[in-house]
Structure 1
Amino acid sequence: MDEVLNLTLRAAVHDRLDYLDTLVGKADELSKSRLADTVITQLTSAWRELLAAHEPDEHGRCPACSAPRLFGRSRCTVWRTAHSCLIADTAGRSRSGRHHFRRRGQTP
């Protein structure tokens, strides 16, 4: 049952992202403006919540990505992805569409 629920949730999220990509690419300016008014707030809230769950502990380890038995710091993929998507991606590359990392042979 958990597997079915997980697959359903993942499909719904991917479908919503695909829908937003379509709107950004094909919608008129008024629709894009309305979309920005709502979706940007939702996305920034989602990023903040996700990053809070991956905030490093006093030893610099991500509690979600670091196994307690490992010594040293484990690089948190969530923070690397956030930096890549929000900060470092200034070269104008298109980063839209389902599984864009995998299609390009990249990892998040």
Structure 2
Amino acid sequence: MDQILGQVLRNAVWERLDMLADLANRADTDSLVSVARSELPRLTEGWRAMLSAHEPDERGDCPTCSTRWHRCKAPCSVWQVAHEHLVAGGLAPQQDLRGSWRKSKNSVPSQTRGPKATQAESTGRHALIPQVATR
């Protein structure tokens, strides 16, 4: 049951990100301004909440990414991705970002992918990564 709820949550997030990317690429100026005013504060708050959970502890380890047996030194992958997309990405030449995150998902380390997809998780537009790779 938890796997199904987790997949529903992940699908909802992917769908929301797809919708925002589509709006950014297709919306007229007035609609884009309206979406930016409503969504940018939500997105920045989301990034802040996620990054707060990954702030290094007094030993310089990420408390969220670290386990009892393996310490993850800061900056963890969450901070690295945040920097890449929020800071360095602004300096890089512009590219079509639609789908670029989807393509790079396959480079996510296998320990973060979770178990192999069950039948219930292997359907829909945003099925788990192992199913996407087999298409």
Structure 1 and Structure 2 fold alike (TM over 0.5):
yes
The residue aligned with 1:101 is: 104
Residues 62 and 76 of structure 2 are in contact (CA less than 8 Å); yes or no, is this contact kept in structure 1? yes
Count of aligned positions: 106
Alignment check: 8 A CA contact 1:66 1:74 kept: no
Gaps of 5+ in 2: 110-135
Is the CA contact 2:56–2:74 (under 8 Å) kept in the aligned structure 1?
A: no
The AA in structure 2 aligned to 1:94 is D
Question: How much does 1:29 deviate?
Answer: 0.2
* Counterpart contact for 2:61–2:73, Cα < 8 Å: yes
Amino acid at match of 2:78: V
| Identical pairs, percent | 40
Residue of structure 2 in register with 1:43 after alignment: 43
Moved more, 1-10 or 90-99: 90-99
In structure 2, distance between residues paired with 1:71 and 1:19: 37
d(CA) in 1 for partners of 2:40 and 2:103? 20
5+ residue gaps, structure 1? none
Q: Note the 1:47-86 alignment, pairs <5 A.
A: 47-70=47-70, 73=73, 75-86=75-86
Shift in Å at residue 70 of structure 1? 3.2
Normalised by the size of structure 1, how large is the TM-score? 0.86
1:13–1:40 Cα change, 3 Å: same
Question: Does 2:13 correspond to 1:13?
Answer: yes
- 1:31 maps to what in 2? 31
Counterpart amino acid of 1:29?
A: T
The Cα shift of 1:74 comes to 5.8
The corresponding residue for 2:118 is: none
RMSD: 2.1
Q: Find the aligned partners of 1:57 and 1:2 in 2 and give their Cα distance.
A: 30
